């Protein structure tokens, strides 16, 4: 799996988790969803993604967006 696909999969899981926490635990978890969205937005413009750095250190293959 490439870093790009790993980041997309991780982001998807985190969004679904944050929505579930918002619905079943507390409405304040919506801020976690906001944080994820802002992180995705800034990585689109800057090319820096903390998750991509972690996946790279874990040995994922380089992709097109994150290398």
User: Per-residue confidence at 41, pLDDT binned at 50, 70, 90?
Assistant: very high
Within a domain: 66: no
Number of domains composing the chain: 1
19 belongs to a structural domain: yes
Domain that holds residue 39: 3-57
Alpha carbon distance 24, 2 (integer Å):
33
pLDDT at 65: 85
Range 5-26 average pLDDT: 97
What does the chain come to in residues? 67
Mean pLDDT of the chain: 94
Residue 45 inside a domain? The answer is: yes
* Spatial separation of the C-alpha atoms in residues 3 and 36, rounded to whole Å: 17
Residue 67 pLDDT exceeds 80 = no
In a domain, 65, yes or no: no
The answer to whether residue 49 is domain-embedded is yes
Mean pLDDT of the 30-35 span: 96
Q: Is the pTM higher than 0.85?
A: yes
Question: How many Cα atoms within 13 Å fall on the side-chain side of residue 17?
Answer: 9
Query: Exposed, middle or buried: residue 57 (CB in 10 Å: 0-12, 13-18, 19+)?
Result: exposed
pLDDT band of residue 34 (cuts 50, 70, 90) is very high
């Amino acid at each position: 799996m490439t870093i790009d696909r790993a980041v997309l999969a991780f982001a998807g899981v985190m969004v679904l988790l944050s929505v579930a926490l918002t619905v079943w635990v507390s409405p304040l978890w919506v801020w976690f969803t906001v944080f994820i969205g802002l992180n995705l937005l800034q990585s689109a413009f800057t090319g820096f993604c903390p998750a991509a750095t972690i996946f790279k250190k874990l040995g994922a293959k380089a992709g097109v967006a994150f290398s």
